[in-house]
């Protein structure tokens, strides 16, 4: 009985995290995401993928947003430079992408920017956000308020 109750609490926390992420994403007019095959992730990362509820979030993104924009799962977003489009062969252990064009960025942030650019149909010379001002304190506060109330969600802001 106690074990079942603990699993129930854990499942409720995960559902709460999923609901908050979805509520946060609904604030935006367009949401772009890579349409990865999660079964292949599970082979690499095991239970972490299954317990993350990312599959349920992806399904809810498709069903509850007005215009979700999926990017093909075979796009090499973690290997492509956001600024110039050049592809780099990077081992998974290398967390920083440094391109000959001068662009240097965290690999995951770079991939997110590439996904956004591809989803919006922009070429590398139309890269967005490079001239965007800093995220405003109000935007940071809103993100922290919506997402941060769940102890399972960590909110951090990259500088």
- Summarised one tens digit per residue, pLDDT across range 121-153 is 877 776 655 555 456 677 777 777 776 666 666
User: Would you say residue 99 lies in a domain?
Assistant: yes
Looking at residue 133, what is its pLDDT?
46
> Residue range 23-37: average pLDDT?
79
> Residue range 49-72: average pLDDT?
76
Q: State the total domains in the chain.
A: 1
User: Would you say residue 96 lies in a domain?
Assistant: yes
Where residue 29 falls (left for φ over 0; alpha for ψ -120 to 50; beta otherwise) is alpha
User: Would you say residue 112 lies in a domain?
Assistant: yes
Residues 4 and 19: their CA atoms lie apart, in Å, by: 22
**Pairing status of strand 96-98 against strand 104-106:** antiparallel
* Structural domain harbouring 89: 75-128
> Residue range 72-81: average pLDDT?
85
User: Would you say residue 52 lies in a domain?
Assistant: no
Cβ burial 26-58 (10 Å sphere, 16+ → b, else e)? eeeeebbbbebeeeebeeeeeeebeebbbeebb
Decide if pLDDT at 41 tops 50: yes
Looking at residue 15, what is its pLDDT?
87
Local structure of 116: helix, strand or coil: helix
Looking at residue 11, what is its pLDDT?
86
């Amino acid at each position: 009985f106690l074990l079942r109750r603990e699993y129930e609490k854990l499942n409720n926390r995960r559902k709460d995290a999923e609901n908050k992420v979805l509520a946060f994403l609904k604030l935006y007019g367009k949401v772009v995401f890579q349409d990865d095959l999660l079964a292949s992730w599970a082979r690499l990362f095991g239970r972490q993928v299954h317990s993350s509820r990312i599959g349920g979030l992806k399904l809810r993104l498709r069903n509850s947003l007005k215009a979700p924009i999926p990017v093909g799962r075979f796009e090499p977003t973690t290997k492509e430079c956001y600024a110039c489009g050049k592809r780099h062969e990077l081992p998974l252990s290398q967390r920083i992408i440094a391109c000959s064009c001068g662009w240097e960025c965290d690999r995951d942030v770079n991939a997110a920017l590439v996904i956004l650019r591809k989803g919006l149909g922009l070429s590398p010379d139309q890269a967005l956000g490079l001239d965007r001002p800093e995220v405003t304190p109000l935007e940071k506060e809103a993100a922290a308020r919506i997402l941060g109330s769940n102890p399972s969600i960590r909110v951090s802001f990259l500088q």
